[in-house]
Structure 1
Amino acid sequence: MFSPYKMVKVGQVNVAFVGAVLEDTPTVVTPSGIAGLEFRDEAASINAVMPEIMAQKPDAVIALIHQGGTAQAKYDELDCSTLQGPVVDVVRALDKNVSAVMTGHTHQGYSCRVDGRVVVQGEAQGHLLQRLDLTIDLDRRAVTAVEGRNVFVDPAGPKDARMTEIVARADELTKPVASRVVATLGAEQITRKANAAGESALGDVIADSQLAATRAPEFGGAVIAFMNPGGIRADLPGTPNPAMTVTYGEVFTVQPFGNLLTVMTLTGAQIKTLLEQQLFEDTASGPRRILQVSEGFAYTWDQSRPTGDKVVKMSLNGQPIDPAAAYRVTVNSFLADGGDNFTVLREGKDRLGGALDIDAFQNYLKAAPVKPGPQNRITRLN
């Protein structure tokens, strides 16, 4: 049976590490991949195993939680008091024997205290290393002090020889495929940076590629495509290329998940619901989430309006979207299962599976030199 904790001997002391996955996991992964699993409150889950952990007489307990927050403090500021977000309530509810909490999910760098307890996060992609310094009284077997900090990881520093060998071997095996030029763009770079309305040039291109792959009747007869911004992992290419060529590795870096395209029928009313399920602004639990849309579809949202009623206009090829009419819509398989909390997509009917998203993207880029467009499909008011 899998254990949610592990006892580690560090010098003369025993440290228990206990982990908890994100309670909101069903909203950020493909739902079909976690069918039958239950995700519970992080604090309650950790507290439930604390009696078992404490029975082994650990000298300290550290919680590892895939939940996080945001802080106004810089990553190297110690003991900040500005932490906000869901993790704050989680920490406050944890058993008093948990000495410190290492967090994630929000990709922030901070070292804060919540009700006196250290809470740290090391940003993302190995940029920072979370470090905890614990002072333990060996006579009383008790933690007397905890200090949390983030250590900057210098990529120019010495590298582990064994890991370097593994990376070199992987690079050797994949380089022939990754370095293959697959297309020439009409610009040195197309970026995923979103404008004030939430639209990006690369998001437009990807949505267009998915529509192009599913527009034909035999491939679904789609008229609209939506792309989740979280699935766009990099600019294309990562740095501007004067030659304007892109390789398969660069295309894969943009879309690495291998999702299948799915065409379904939605009513105009369901499309409106879909757009209302977006996160229009950053929150403590994560960044805003604006779907990227294909050419021909346009909509306007008003920030001053209440949640659930922000979208004020939708059109397809200049004609208003009819709430009662049926439209063939393309999304990737992650979204089709209700990923990113776009639950209305589970109601889509007459589904038809299609190509891999990366294949549709690659084929679209090959067809003609693509360049950044005007980014005028999404309009924001107020």
Structure 2
Amino acid sequence: MKKELLPLAIGGFGIGMTEFVIMGVLPDIATTLHISIPVAGHLIASYALGVVLGAPLLVGIAGNYPPKKILLGLMGLFTVFNVLSAFAPTYEIMMLTRLLSGLPHGAFFGVGAVVASRLAGKGKEAQAISMMFAGLTVANIIGVPLGTYIGHNLSWRITFVIIALVGLITMFCIQKLLPVLPVVGESNLRKDLKLFTRAEPWLILGITAIGTGGLFAWFSYIAPLLTEVAHFSSDQITWILVLAGVGMAVGNLISGRTADLISPVKATALFLLLMAVCLMTVYFVAPFKVPLLVMTFITGAVAFSLGAPIQILMIRAANGSEMLASSVSQAGFNIGNALGAYLGGLPIAAGLGYASPEWVGAALAFSGFLLAVVIYFRQKNVTATVEQIAEEDLTHYELAAGH
């Protein structure tokens, strides 16, 4: 990893930890704040709402500043809001601080992806972006289990203080290691919003929200799948989640190289199709412990292979509005989080069992695959048209030269 990308990876670690650790310490927060676990679950939705609101809002406000200053400001907000979460005295204040904690999430990854692509060598943009997302995968391997353990055995408030310390470390590394990159063009929110007058950004956002919903339909209900269907003990869940996290880390590394090798749109379509196959396989092997463990690793790898290719797709479709487009893409991932969790829960509520969300996830992933195929043919037609125009121009030039 280039040292310039290290601050982005550390920031990704902190963001991944604050996003996912709350799922592990939810019972502890509920006990401290004297609320039920379902009510405490609203804190997860509050964070996701913050991501969706903050991604376009903060980038729109800060778009004319150099990327380094934007990243420092975003991580400063992240640090402050996580400290406030650590000391929140009531449920209502915790809801507010979680909403505020989510605001920098999408903007940081969005601006970070643009910075990573600008720091990368030619043809290695997706690999550079995958290094930023590597921090997110490491958070699932180390940060979330550690934060959950501390939350259970000491205090969940200490967990959020640790997250804030990661924010401070990220700010230090941004200041010391990240070069000063110039502002490319003048940002104007009204101009940037014209991005969404074209079809391709909407198609990419659809892939992000619908296709990655397949990941969350599986992952949101992985604990009851493991305990109620495969009959693992509850004490084994943490280590199985670590296995899934290792798979995600491996998949993230594969994704960047694949997207640079075969093109982002082909990589996106490939990984979505593989995700649909993996989720259907999970359904059939769910009662068997060893095959389910193998598929937990593989599904984690395939699902997390989508991050870098989708981000590159959106950046290339941005046409001068890269930071806004990249940030909105992150909001799309959180819409996928909510969509996958909600739709995946419907068959469970209907009494179809804890393996039934895999069919929902497979359908969402396959729908994302179909959208990726549409983008592929649109890009192919555009390329063919450009080549035809260039050939006609050359023919006219040769005819004119002949006269």
Q: TM-score, with normalisation over the residues of structure 1?
A: 0.22
Q: Which has the higher strand share?
A: 1
Normalised to the residue count of structure 2, the TM-score between the two structures is 0.22
Instruction: Pick the structure with more helix per residue.
Output: 2
